[in-house]
Amino acid sequence: MHAAWLRRRLDTARRDPLSGLARREGFEQAASRLLSGGSAAVVLVDLDGFKAVNDSWGHAAGDEAIRMAAAAMNTVCTDPGVTGRLGGDEFAAVVPLADPVTLRWLLGGLHGCLTAPFSYEGRTLAVGASVGGVWAPAGTPLGVALRVADEAMFRAKQTGGGPSVAPSLTPAYRTVNGRRDGRRGTDLEGGAA
């Protein structure tokens, strides 16, 4: 009984309390195991318009947007896949996928779920989403796949959001300060990019 209680406590500590998704560390461990065992889609999501929802309707509305995004991630990225909230309004998933043919469909379906309107205190609200993904064969290092999925997400964000599929596992952007060029913290003079 004590062991079961400890397992539940440990599982709770590894989950984001707002979304119920794995936190970054737990996500990365489970995602790496999944990638070592087979090919998969590696997906990165950033909500668009999230700050506007927070600023216009309050943090409770923003919290509901996070919960709805988590539900969308779990709906599309089913078991044995793994989903996580990396922080703020950024989410990730690794979903077993035998070949890259269905990746575009997976990302499009996820985008549709993420951008579906939701109800908050009698109002209908919505956020946009930039969704990037890459197909990774078995044994691909998670860091490489996440970097390329991040680049695809960035391309989607630059064109107004939506899904974007990376053409390969080869990064297209340079790295500055250990991060993809264009992300905060990549300005070589110390400011935000």
pLDDT in tens, 75-98: 988 889 999 999 999 999 999 999
Share of the chain above pLDDT 90, in %: 77
For residue 173, what pLDDT is reported?
A: 72
Query: For 137-176, what is each residue's pLDDT tens digit?
Result: 999 999 999 999 999 999 999 999 999 999 999 988 766 5
Q: Which residues are CB-neighbours of 51 under 8 A, at least 6 positions away?
A: none
Compute the distance between CA of residue 60 and CA of residue 71 in angstroms, rounded to an integer.
Answer: 17
- β pairing state of 175-176 and 162-165: unpaired
The confidence band for 191, taking pLDDT boundaries of 50, 70 and 90, is very low
For residue 193, what pLDDT is reported?
A: 41
**In this structure, how many other beta carbons lie within 10 angstroms of the beta carbon of residue 27?**
24
14, 24 in Cβ contact below 8 A?
no
For residue 192, what pLDDT is reported?
A: 45
- Active site (annotated) includes residue 187: no
Across 114-139, average pLDDT: 97
149, 169 in Cβ contact below 8 A?
no
User: Looking at per-residue confidence, does 137 or 183 come out higher?
Assistant: 137
For residue 181, what pLDDT is reported?
A: 59
Tokens of 115: 């951008």
Annotated catalytic residue, options 16, 46, 48, 89: 89
143, 92 in Cβ contact below 8 A?
no
Compute the distance between CA of residue 102 and CA of residue 81 in angstroms, rounded to an integer.
Answer: 15
Q: What are the start-end ranges of the H helices in 77-141?
A: 103-114
